[in-house]
Amino acid sequence: MNFNNFKKITIKQKIVLFFFIFLLAALTITYTVLIPTIKAIIKEKESIIMQKIELEKKILREKNMVKLSEKLKIIKPQIETIENTFINKNRELEFITTLEGIALRNDVIQKLNLNIDKNFEKNYIKIPLNINVQGTYDNLIDYIVDLENYKYYININSIQFSFTQDNYSLSISADSYWK
């Protein structure tokens, strides 16, 4: 470039030339520096918003976990109580012995009919129980009360009561619940 020609340019043309050079430099800086920086800032803003949303979700899950944990602490003893009302399938002898103990304690004669299938597959199962009991009226009533207060859940479906001169008898149809 010849600077002699630059000296011949008028001030007005020089100002216009410098303005275009400045404009060109400004556009170059804008496209090479400013626009990529703005895009990076927008991406970072979106990333921060996503992290904020994830953090809020985690906080909400943690609050829910704390609430569930508190509820579980309240429910757990109740679940254990319910769990203990089921008869363990490996303890049928204990179950029968306890029923015989109730009969002895109430001075009644008891006959049990319990059909336990050792191979039941379900975790919880209902097994029919038939009990025939003979004794005095008061002893039979005490027997029923003890049976109802027994630690395992036995649901009495029906009771048939019969008597002769000195002998009373009960035929109890019930369901027992096993695990």
CA angle, residues 46, 47, 51, in degrees to nearest 5: 115
Quote the pTM value: 0.55
How much is the mean pLDDT over the chain? 85
Query: pLDDT for 67-77, tens place per residue?
Result: 888 888 888 88
Alpha-carbon distance of 97 to 93, in angstroms, equals: 6
> What pLDDT sits at residue 57?
93
| Confidence bin at 66 (pLDDT 50/70/90) | confident
> What pLDDT sits at residue 118?
62
Alpha-carbon distance of 150 to 112, in angstroms, equals: 16
What is the H or E stretch that residue 59 is in?
helix 35-84
Query: pLDDT for 103-126, tens place per residue?
Result: 999 999 999 887 776 666 667 788
Alpha-carbon distance of 98 to 95, in angstroms, equals: 5
Averaged pLDDT for residues 19-25:
90
**Could you tell me which residue, 116 or 128, shows the higher pLDDT?**
128
Q: Which residue type occupies 136?
A: T
